[in-house]
Amino acid sequence: MKFKDLAIYLDKLEKTSSRNEMTVILADLLKKLSADEIDKTVYLVLGQLAANYEGIVLNLAEKMMFRVIAKAYSVTAEKAKELFKQKGDIGVVAQSLAKEKKSSLDVNEVLERLLDIAKDSGEGSQERKVEKMADLLSNLDPLSARFVSRIPLGRLRLCFLDKTVIDALSWMAKGYKSVKNQIEKAYQVLPDPGILAKNIKEKGLEKATKNVFPQVGVPVLPMLAQRLKSPKEMIVKMGRKVSVEPKLDGLRLSIHFKKGKNGFIKAYTRNLNETSWMFPELKNIGSQIKADEVILDSEAVGLDEETKKMVDFQTTMTRRRKHEIEKAALKTGIEFFVFDIVFKDGQNLMEKSYLERRGELEATLTSGKILRLIDYELTDNPEKINAFYQEKVKQGYEGIIVKNTEGYYVPGRTGWRWVKMKQVESAKSRLSDTIDCLVMGYTVGKGKRTGFGVGQFLVGVLDPTSRKASRGEGNYKTVTKIGTGLTDEQFRELKKRLVPLEVKEKPKEYEVSKLLIHDYWVYPKLVVEIAADEITKSPSHTAGLALRFPRLVRFRDDRKPEDTTTLAELKKLYEMQRK
């Protein structure tokens, strides 16, 4: 398919607000693609160059894109910047400057050229990237230029994610969404929408989605815990003896280990980012693993090198700065607490019970200095669960995880397989957990805060079941504004993160009351963890609920916007605090 033909579909998708209409348009596009181009097209319509876990990005920031536009269309960078300020969209700027022409580049050629730009590194690479991107844009028609120029900034503006692709694949295969659950189950084990689409096109629906095994080097979507307050209710919900494990305040990591000549060690966060570069300690884990290939579920926890005590999540995450890894490692060591195993030497363990997986884990892993097998206790006594919780909190853990001993490893937060019980952050707090929220906008503030550039910021939660959400609108509903409880350093860090995300108009994914006026809206990307004393009913926030005395706990770089707390979960927390 020529890219100019794909651009016509992208234009239709951008102009469509109905989720169902988007699905039908996308399905029609997928039907017309060959097996050789369907995977590449799926990545492009998602604004990506490959699956998320591959971590392939263009590294062309906004300022560099002004230079790209200038070189591609023979204008100055200042002119490109001025047009961007007027239009608020680099794609519209490129489209307005591009000349009508017969563009002959096909989808595969465009992706190959973008991949070449992304992989260019070393001395002089920034200049080469600008040259190559400018050359690509100059060879595209105006409509194609609009969409291709948006990709480097991660703002394709089509307002859908992998789940819409899954719906479209179901529609492509059957003419309706009835098999989307079957496709989604395969996606949970192999979260690569491009490969999934290619397999369905080549093998047919049944062969492509049945008996999908985990693959070492491809992250499995993680299993998540539900929330319950009462140990007695946990026993009732799970209906049998349970396993109780300590809950750590660390970074959830899926560790992939392959031995041999072509071996490797990779570590993926719960939002599928590959982060093994953050943890040089992992290169020494081979002696602790009795297997050729294995996928382990773990929590990376920082340890203060002087006190040898566990540090909080934010301290552990100081390693995200690549140029400071060695310095951070000297100050804060890392231990990996392993609590599950999903694959070993060709065997899919996801459909084994918790106890069977635990037995396999103990036979596979030698607990040591780097990898530590997490402790657990089996019980059907609520009092013992509570005693275990109190003991672990005193030892510095965040709380406990209670697990159904017969439960399979099922990605996502479904059923009563895992339940968490966390330490309450404040003595006044009636909440049993913190809340993951999306930052939607902010005001610049007054007085001292004008120096930070942020006075208050607005956050919301996800409501994927609302009527508007089905049309691609109002997916996120507001729950609170936060302007106190931040340190000076947090205010500065917040501003630094928000500036690149600023957009001229309110994203259509946001449902916000007209009473909540902000200086800047931001693109849906930044997730924060929020603590509060309680949840109250609210007529001014579109969630219908609000957080009382909210405070920023930390930035959640391991969360994607779709991983935020849902409105249904917030309502459940509201009911739990009243018990």
Residues known to be catalytic: 247
Cα(455)–Cα(318) distance, rounded to whole angstroms? 25
239, 253, 248, 347: which is closest to 293 by C-alpha? Answer: 347
Kind and range of the H or E run holding 226: strand 226-227
**Which residue is associated with the tokens 């469509």?**
16
Inter-residue long-range contacts of 208-213, CB under 8 Å, 24+ positions, other chains counted: 209/179, 209/182, 209/183, 209/185, 210/186, 212/185, 212/186, 213/189, 213/343, 213/348
Q: What is the C-alpha separation between 1 and 37, in angstroms, rounded?
A: 8
575: exposed, middle or buried (Cβ count in 10 Å: 0-12, 13-18, 19+)? exposed
* Contact criterion met (CB below 8 Å) for 435 and 529: yes
- The residue assigned the tokens 């300690």 is 281
Separation of alpha carbons 442 and 303, rounded Å: 35
Question: Which 3 state secondary structure label does DSSP give 290?
Answer: coil
Q: Which residue has the tokens 């496709």?
A: 183
Phi and psi, residue 158, nearest 5°: -95, -10
Exposure of 365 in the CB half-sphere (CA atoms within 13 A)? 30
Q: What are phi and psi of 304, to 5 degrees?
A: -65, 125
State the burial class of residue 103 (Cβ atoms within 10 Å of its Cβ: 0-12, 13-18, 19+): buried
Contact 219, 272 (CB under 8 A): yes
CA distance 401 to 2: 51
Do β-strands 347-348 and 371-373 pair in parallel, antiparallel, or remain unpaired? unpaired
Contacts of 192 (CB under 8 A, 6+ apart): 51, 53, 218
Residue 95 contacts residue 145 (beta carbons within 8 Å):
yes
Task: Please report, for residues 264, 366, 370, 447, the alpha-carbon distance to residue 287 in angstroms, rounded to integers and kept in the order given.
Answer: 14, 8, 10, 57
Alpha helices in 98-211 (DSSP H): 107-119, 125-138, 142-148, 162-174, 180-189, 193-203, 205-209
Tell me which residue of 266, 295, 293, 261 sits closest to 279, measured CA to CA: 266
Contact 495, 454 (CB under 8 A): yes
Beta strands at 435-443 and 418-422: parallel, antiparallel or unpaired: unpaired
Token output for 384: 């013992």
> Going by DSSP bridges, is the β-strand pair 476-482/510-511 parallel, antiparallel, or unpaired?
parallel
Backbone angles phi, psi at 195, to 5 degrees: -65, -40
